[in-house]
Amino acid sequence: MKTTKLASVVAILAALVFTGMASAQTDPGVRSNTGVNAGQPLASVTASPNDLAFFQTGLAQFNEHQTVTGDNPGLGPRFNMDSCGACHSQPAPGGTSPASTIFPNVGPNPQSQVIANGIVNGGANTIPYFVFANGPVREARFPFFFDQFGNPNPNAPNGGVEDLFTVSGRTDAGSCSLQQPSFNIARVTNNIIFRIPTPVFGTGLMANIDDATLLANHAAQANNRLGVSGAFNHNGNDGTISRFGWKAQNKSLMIFAGEAYNVEMGISNELFTQDRPLPGEDQLGSGLPPSCLNLAGIGYPEDITHSDGTTASTVTSDVGLFNTFMQFLDQPTPSTTSPGGATSITNGRRLFSAIGCALCHTPSLTTQASKLTLGLGNATANLFSDIEIHHMGAGLADNVSQGGAGGDQFRTAPLWGLGQRIFFLHDGRTANLLGAIEAHQSNGSEATQVEENFDLLSPSQQQDLLNFLRSL
Amino acid sequence: MSRPVFSYWRLRGLNMHPKFSRSLALVCFAISLTAHAQSSLQSGGDFSNNPQPNALPSDVILVKGAWSSASDSVTPVPEGGRVANNVFSNQYFGLTYALSPNWKEKYSGPPPSDSGYYVLAQIRPAETPKGTTRGSILIAAQDLFFTLTPAGNALELINYNKESLDAEYKVEQPPTLVRVANHSFVRFDYGSPVAELHWHVLATQIRCHMVQFVLTSRDTKLVESLIQEMSKMTLPAEAGPISGRGGGEVPVCIKDYARDENVLERVDPVFGERRFNPTPVRIIIGKEGKVKHIHFLSAFPDQVKAITDALFQWRFRPYLRDGKPVEVETGIMFGRVPRPAVFPASQAVNE
């Protein structure tokens, strides 16, 4: 009798506890029951055999693994990875950091496997402390140069990419011998920041939004009574609005591709024509040693337009193919029902606007006419970004300036495809949407008031909003 | 890898042939030099071998883009307000506002924007379990010289807010003139049915800025009690939704005073680098017509220097009020002029 009574009490208590837990808001996690909803070409590209061939060649090149010499030459002498698609792969090529245990189980962080896979010589390289098999793909930067005493010098801004690996010790690298940057010292001196791969789905649409549209949207958001007031980054050559990269520092996808090919993989190309030293190697005048130059033996730049090609895609350089691939990538397809159901998602979308998220994460913008393909012209880009740079406060500041963006300013990250992303914010510091939302408030952030509004919502309202975000 | 260094002098104590001991000492010295060279690679740039390096501070913005600054640190500026002893005070606006008990400023706001928008303070309850925050108060200002909305005063700006309100919101009280702390404000309330949140805006105008208090909560009774507590606020005599144009102890604020007919001597800034950001600047012109104070709302350091060097050489026609010269505060936009918003039709305000 006493046992029965106790069991009933326990059951009641358990019901109360677990009911409370069920109603607490949680990030539903990567949407896995709708298939992979990104990585496809625009419908107008699919409908055009020539454009589709171009896209597919670009995709193949995007996934290709480069070597120092041979058929795919030019890797290094310093690099972060040997393939674009290795890092940009979640949930499909063109995406962001993958994971092996999260849908669609692309694989572990490829940077953690470089020694095991023979991409990097383990005798000459170590895996940096911030690279984990289940962590985001990362590039690293030192906000400041070290001085001659090995202390970070706040009067000497750096901010350039410090490549993780070298080709030293590879059989195709000759006598090139390079040292990895001082990541451990940078860690203990608070002189290191990270960037994760930014997804490139829909970037053709982003590229085709006219400046006038962005400026009109900016003006319409003025006097918002929520503390938000962004600005634009500009291309230094012609003053037009730049839009690609975490700080909107790059003007076009072509420049974006060329810079990434050179900086992240060490492959010189027709936009960035030299092998790239580390920022300090460059600015202290030492440069790369001669033994590490022209390792492919083919001269510079290593990636060129092919005058002996016979089709559009065989003539085009790798960078040109990357540009075409990104231009032709369609925006991700959101779900109307998952997670949480249609009512919750609809409610969440309304809440997203009501509390002010949509001020910066503008739900949609219209593109101008396109000569590239019909699908890019007069289209609705559901990017959830105003493509402005905003002050995000001391909590998110990385102390790296790029163009007109200061150390605490970041481009509003487009949220399309967020439902199938694993890591959030510029450095992938969290895989939980709630953590990403909370990080929006800190000293000096424009988003503090909007985050306060999120906190004012009830748990079920917050869950609706999370469900909406994961439906994107 | 370090190796032990053998002292030549210690070797002398050993019972060795002198020539052998000298040779051994030289070999050891050479080995120690090699080891030292291998272990102490040069620091600098991307590398450091310092075993005890100095660390940079965390969570501090050390690298800034375009930011606010002023030609001196004495003259008050709009962003110079602060919360101390539970009172928000802003010397530029002549405003003090005692916070409700247990309400505080947790996070400071961003720098002023290039369209003249300021977050002066963000107030919230001090001890609040996550998810049960009761409300928040945003104290903000909009420089009417640089607003993207072509409004001439705070009243017009609030009317614009009402006319451009998104369909998700419902007007709960249209713009209405009210008295708070013995001063005239315009009050505008709206809410979001889906979020069950209410926004209550109280705006006035001081020194050609709209100064607004935005109270947000699910609890309208809480908001009303907060508004009641605002009766203890102190404001300058000029404050009002269509007045607020300085004068008295502060300069008279006049939009576009730096027109050709008022500028007697002008020197253009010499910019070393071409930039494309709007650079709004407020200046105070002394009674004799010389610039005495420059406030940059948003500018890069090189822009600040070039514009400062130029502006201090400008000379204006003195502004007379009742036949006597007075100080003037005005605004000048350098760089790219931002694109204005489309201004909807305004409606009368309720009293």
Q: Which value, to the nearest 10 degrees, does the dihedral of the CA atoms of residues B78, B158, A217, A451 take?
A: 70
Judge if ipTM > 0.85: yes
CB-based contact B310:B270 (threshold 8 Å): yes
More confident residue, B31 or A29: A29
Whether residues A226 and B276 touch (CB distance < 8 A) is answered with no
H or E element at residue A56: helix A49-63
Q: What is the mean pLDDT of residues B257-275?
A: 94
Shortest CA gap A412–chain B (Å): 16
Rg of chain B, C-alpha, whole Å: 31
Instruction: For residue A187, give the 3-state DSSP assignment.
Output: helix
The Cα B153–Cα B168 span in angstroms is 26
Q: What angle do CA A398, A262, A130 make, to 5 degrees?
A: 40
pLDDT for B28 beyond 80: no
Hey, where are the domains in chain A?
A: 68-198+252-307, 199-249+330-471
Measured between CB atoms, does B164 come within 8 Å of chain A? Answer: yes
The Cα A269–Cα A466 span in angstroms is 42
Tally: H helices and E strands in chain A: 15, 10
- Residue identified by tokens 């012109």 is B285
Q: What is the mean pLDDT of residues B1-7?
A: 36
CATH number at B75-245: 3.40.1000.10
| Omega prior to A157 cis, within 30 of 0 | no
**Domain B250-334: CATH superfamily, name plus number:** TonB (3.30.2420.10)
* Single pTM value for the model: 0.91
C-alpha distances in angstroms, A173 versus A81, A84, B193?
Answer: 16, 21, 65
H or E element at residue A353: helix A342-354
Q: Which two tokens stand for residue A197?
A: 């791969």
Measured between CB atoms, does B124 come within 8 Å of chain A? Answer: yes
Shortest CA gap A112–chain B (Å): 22
Measured between CB atoms, does A349 come within 8 Å of chain B? Answer: no
Q: CB-CB: which of B44, B274, B277 is closest to A148? A: B44
pLDDT at A10: 46
pLDDT for B132 beyond 70: no
CB-based contact B169:B162 (threshold 8 Å): no
Whether residues B197 and A142 touch (CB distance < 8 A) is answered with no
Measured between CB atoms, does B66 come within 8 Å of chain A? Answer: yes
CB-based contact A295:A69 (threshold 8 Å): yes
Q: What is the mean pLDDT of residues B116-125?
A: 96
Largest CA distance in chain A: 91
User: What is the pairing mode between strands B183-192 and B170-180?
Assistant: antiparallel
CB-based contact A144:A158 (threshold 8 Å): yes
Measured between CB atoms, does A164 come within 8 Å of chain B? Answer: no
Shortest CA gap A104–chain B (Å): 33
Q: How confident is the model at residue B129 (pLDDT cuts 50, 70, 90)?
A: low
Residues 6+ apart with CB under 8 A from B202: B178, B180, B185, B186, B187, B212, B213, B215, B227, B230
More confident residue, B342 or B92: B92
Interface mutation vs chain A, best among B47, B146, B168, B300, most A CBs within 10 Å: B47
A94: left (phi over 0), alpha (psi -120 to 50) or beta: left
Q: How confident is the model at residue B344 (pLDDT cuts 50, 70, 90)?
A: low
Q: Tell which residue, A194, A166, A284, A192, has the closest CA to residue B53.
A: A192
Q: CB-CB: which of A239, A401, A458 is closest to B63? A: A401
Q: Domain A199-249+330-471 is in which class? A: mainly alpha
Could you give phi then psi for residue A250, rounded to 5 degrees?
A: -105, 140
Rg of chain A, C-alpha, whole Å: 24
The Cα B272–Cα B335 span in angstroms is 13
* E strand intervals along A295-419: 365-366, 380-381, 389-391, 409-411
* b/e code A305-314 from CB counts within 10 Å (16+ = b): eeeeeeeebe
H or E element at residue A9: helix A2-23
C-alpha distances in angstroms, A312 versus A39, A53, A326, B12?
Answer: 22, 9, 16, 81
- Which positions of chain A have pLDDT values less than 50? 1-4, 7, 9-23
Residues of B in contact with A141 (CB under 8 A): none
Instruction: For residue A136, give the 3-state DSSP assignment.
Output: coil
Spell out the SS3 assignment of chain B: CCCCCCCHHHHCCCCCCHHHHHHHHHHHHHHHHHHHHHHCCCCEECECCCCCCCCCCCCCCCCCCCEEEECCCCCCCHHHCEEECCEEEECCCCEEEECCCCEEECCCCCCCCCCCEEEEEEEEECCCCCCCCCEEEEEEEEECCCCCCCCCCHHHHHHHHHHCCCCCCEEEEEEEEEEECCEEEEEEEEEECCCCEEEEEEEEEECCEEEEEEEEECCHHHHHHHHHHHHHCECCCCCCCCCCCEECCEEEECCCCCCHHHEEECCCCCCCCCCCCCEEEEEEECCCCEEEEEEEEEECHHHHHHHHHHHCCCEECCEEECCEEECEEEEEEECCCCCCCCCCCCCCCEC
pLDDT at B128: 56
CB-based contact A351:A17 (threshold 8 Å): no
CB-based contact B211:B202 (threshold 8 Å): no
Residues 6+ apart with CB under 8 A from B64: A401, A406, A407, A408
pLDDT at B283: 98
- Out of A434-443, B1-10, B293-302, which region has the weakest mean confidence (pLDDT)? B1-10
Query: CB neighbours (10 Å) of residue A28?
Result: 18
pLDDT for B97 beyond 90: yes
Could you give phi then psi for residue B268, rounded to 5 degrees?
A: -75, 140
Q: CB-CB: which of A278, A354, A400 is closest to B46? A: A278
DSSP secondary structure letter of residue A375: G
Residues 6+ apart with CB under 8 A from B284: B75, B251, B291, B292, B293, B327, B328, B329
The Cα A34–Cα A27 span in angstroms is 17
CB-based contact A316:A309 (threshold 8 Å): yes
Q: Which two tokens stand for residue A440?
A: 């929006």
| Amino acid present at B290 | K
pLDDT for B351 beyond 50: no
Residues 6+ apart with CB under 8 A from A6: none
Measured between CB atoms, does A220 come within 8 Å of chain B? Answer: yes
pLDDT at B24: 55
Average pLDDT, chain A: 94
Residues of A in contact with B279 (CB under 8 A): none
Residues 6+ apart with CB under 8 A from B129: none
CB-based contact A338:A34 (threshold 8 Å): yes
Q: How confident is the model at residue B247 (pLDDT cuts 50, 70, 90)?
A: confident
Query: CB neighbours (10 Å) of residue A35?
Result: 12
- Quick one: angle between helices A253-263 and A318-328, nearest 10? 130
Measured between CB atoms, does A346 come within 8 Å of chain B? Answer: no
- Residue identified by tokens 């075409």 is A324
pLDDT at A453: 97
A window 382-411, beta carbon within 8 A of B: 391, 393-395, 397, 399-401, 404-409
Interface mutation vs chain A, best among B41, B61, B79, B213, most A CBs within 10 Å: B61
Length of chain A, in residues:
472
pLDDT at A16: 43
Q: Which value, to the nearest 10 degrees, does the dihedral of the CA atoms of residues A56, A57, A61, A64 take?
A: 70
pLDDT at A19: 41
The Cα B133–Cα A457 span in angstroms is 9
The Cα B5–Cα A469 span in angstroms is 65
Could you give phi then psi for residue B67, rounded to 5 degrees?
A: -145, 175
Whether residues A146 and B216 touch (CB distance < 8 A) is answered with no
pLDDT at A313: 83
Whether residues A219 and B341 touch (CB distance < 8 A) is answered with yes
Q: Which two tokens stand for residue A134?
A: 């289940």
Q: What is the mean pLDDT of residues B224-246?
A: 92
Q: What is the mean pLDDT of residues B43-48?
A: 95
pLDDT at B348: 41
Whether residues A226 and B169 touch (CB distance < 8 A) is answered with no
